[in-house]
Chains A and B, each alone.
Chain A
Amino acid sequence: MYTLLTGPVFYIALGVCIIGMIVRFYQYFNGLSWQLDRVAYKEYPAMGFRGAVRSIYKWLIPYGTYGWRAQPVMAAAFFGFHLGAVLLPLFLIGHNVFLKEKLGFSLFFNLSTPVADYLTWIAVISLFFLILRRLVLPEVRILTDRKDWGILLISMAPFITGMLARYQVGDYSFWLTAHILTGEIVLFAIPFTKLSHVFLFFASRAQLGMDFGIKRGGLKGNKMAW
């Protein structure tokens, strides 16, 4: 099982994720239409680029937009989770060692163990808060469907199994295998579910940034953050 998961299944999962997202990215931008969207994308490339970059950048900064500041607790949970969800899979030392072994390269730097531990705990606590929020707030509950719970489960599993392996609760090799499996499920799920937002977030934000930058006021030079 372990050999299978770290061998062919890993390559397939990674391939599906990367190729799937390249296809989706291509489809997204190919499907933009200046006349249907009513945005002259190609006429004002510089303004569009500025708008897109500003829109992405501002929303990536904790409390960088009015929207984040309006809901400080949600913003804390959001960034608490996403910080871990982005940094840990990419830069955890164990992941980098694994990558080096499988693909022959590793990514930029390794997170030190205490930092990785903190990030994991923050992510898990944030996730529990996000779940609580989904259960308690009527405005979130009405939107929540089974798929949302599925996504939460899929995203949570690698954290929980990873932690159990890290602290060697019970059978280490079982949790490690479970961790690899759940991680690969995430990779498989990314192009086909709401998890596509991992990449499509940038596409969608870029589009709105271009919309405002080119058409809805960007030319008035007031540096609004959308």
Chain B
Amino acid sequence: MPEGTLCNKKPVDTAEGITTLLADQSGKTYYEEMKSLEIDSDLLWKTIQNTCKTRIRTWLEICAHCGMCADSCFLYLANDRDPKQVPAYKIQSTLGEIIKRKGKVDNKFMLHAMEVAWAQCTCCNRCGTYCPHGIDTGIMFGYLRGLLYQQGFVPWEMKIGAGMHRVYNAQMDITSEDYIDTFEWMVEEYEEDYPGLTVPVDVEDADIMYTVNAREAKHYPEDLAEAAILYHIAGESWTVPSKGWELTSLAMFAGDWAACKMQVESVYDAMERLRPKRMIGTECGHAHRATVVEGPYWAGRKSGRPPVESIHYIEWLAEALRTGKLKIDPAKRIKEPVTLQDSCNYVRNHGLRETAREIISYIVEPGYFIEMSPNKEHNFCCGGGGGFNGIGYFRKQRNVGLKVKRDQILATGAKLVISPCHNCWDAIRDLEEVFEIGIKWSFLKPLIIKMLIIPEHLRPEEE
């Protein structure tokens, strides 16, 4: 069977297609079909010739096979220093081989390549900063994922996720109406505590256009309310777009570049329609990477920048605390050992290494903040990045990968891990579930709301 009914080379771009795929529990049939999926070697080789230019080819060629990247990889460390987990080996034995064989690889090879691309690399790009030649294996794995996606060798959840973006412009089946309804409903829930709290929808020329992670609307709606509360108290002029509100991109994890383009263009369209001064995205790492850092290139924007200045949520928070828009009650600061999870996607890959620490200087009682080691741009991936968290097929491998973060957290002695990134937050929640080390984990929004000084005129009237 060259092409399966569920597992094939065609992207999913209808709601029915998504429903059908979802009905196949855990992708059982999907993965069964994958075992006999044929490879279109001509297409594979043609794509490589058209898209694999000197940067990647030189990387593959001049790799000195020195092995200095080994220790930089958390999956190598988590898997008891298995030589097969050395980044250079992982990429040479997959992408390197495909190129060497001019695309003439078989089904077994592709199944293996899929496992390496999604279960042995989270595209955290740490190894790239440890290679004397500047070889960024994470980038090459991103590229390999694109080739595998084109051939239909992509984990079930990633195929669905990319399809969601194609159909809903969001990583989940949430329509614009669902989203706005949820936001409005959540704001109503909190109106009593915060009189005047609203969610301004599609307001033109606001200072801030706020974008979110669809999971917030689906699973953590309080997060939406918290964002509204913080903008409200800070006195910001803000708005949410009814279309183009989704910051994330499972399409990026899947390597579905066409869907990546559709997704970010929906957000850029909202920027152009509403003309905000700035776009601020929620506490998410990959979403920021997708929409702010990589997105402009998918959308063909020569400037490499989104249509309006776009910043991460922690940049806004740090600014609001610095300028006094938000004021913290010192008595309510965190007084227990606390550490911080640096997200690879906006710390190592977008330079925000001091921003969260500035926030911490306002919200943690001096002496209680303990750094992980290593940290900042050298921090290890949480263990679940690059889509790893979401792939049931590779759950076992993911759980092994969590060990490094577990040990890093244990070494700090912290009881609370601040994690301003959805993926990291999930991974840390899961590691607590798997290893039970007795920690709590949190985004910044709920922590800050608990310790805010609310200006007199915004307080609810006393009975």
Q: Tell me whether A142 is interfacial, beta carbon within 8 Å.
A: yes
**370-419 of chain B: CB within 8 A of chain A:** 374, 377-378
Q: How far is the CA of A66 from the CA of B131 in the complex (A)?
A: 10
**294-322 of chain B: CB within 8 A of chain A:** 294, 296-298, 300, 302-305
Chain A residues touching B, range: 35 or more
Report yes or no: B62 in contact with A200, Cβ–Cβ below 8 A. Answer: yes
Contacts of B353 in A (CB 8 A): 222, 224
Q: How far is the CA of A222 from the CA of B354 in the complex (A)?
A: 9
Could you say which of A93-101, A107-115, A181-189, A210-218 contacts chain B? A210-218
From the candidates A142, A201, A208, A218, name the one contacting B83 in the complex (CB within 8 A): A142
Report yes or no: B297 in contact with A205, Cβ–Cβ below 8 A. Answer: no
Q: Contacts A32-B55, A36-B53, A222-B353; is A205 near B304 (CB within 8 Å)?
A: no
Report yes or no: A38 in contact with B294, Cβ–Cβ below 8 A. Answer: yes
* Nearest CB on A from B404, distance (A): 15
Report yes or no: A142 in contact with B86, Cβ–Cβ below 8 A. Answer: yes
Q: Tell me whether B89 is interfacial, beta carbon within 8 Å.
A: yes
Chain A interface main SS type: helix
Q: Tell me whether B135 is interfacial, beta carbon within 8 Å.
A: yes
Q: Contacts A39-B304, A144-B65, A145-B65; is A216 near B351 (CB within 8 Å)?
A: yes
Q: Tell me whether B128 is interfacial, beta carbon within 8 Å.
A: yes
Q: Contacts A43-B304, A139-B83, A143-B92; is A38 near B297 (CB within 8 Å)?
A: yes
Q: Tell me whether B2 is interfacial, beta carbon within 8 Å.
A: no
Report yes or no: B70 in contact with A139, Cβ–Cβ below 8 A. Answer: yes
From the candidates A27, A209, A217, name the one contacting B349 in the complex (CB within 8 A): A217
Give A contacts to B, CB under 8 Å. 27-40, 43-44, 55, 59, 65-68, 70-71, 74, 78, 133, 137-145, 148, 194, 196-197, 200-201, 203-205, 207-209, 211-212, 214-222, 224, 226
Can you identify 28 A-B contacts, CB atoms within 8 angstroms? A28-B54, A30-B54, A32-B53, A35-B297, A37-B53, A40-B297, A44-B304, A59-B132, A66-B130, A66-B378, A67-B68, A68-B132, A74-B66, A139-B76, A143-B67, A144-B65, A196-B61, A200-B62, A201-B62, A203-B58, A204-B62, A205-B133, A211-B136, A216-B350, A217-B352, A218-B351, A226-B129, A226-B134
Closest 3 interchain pairs by CB? A217-B351, A31-B54, A40-B304
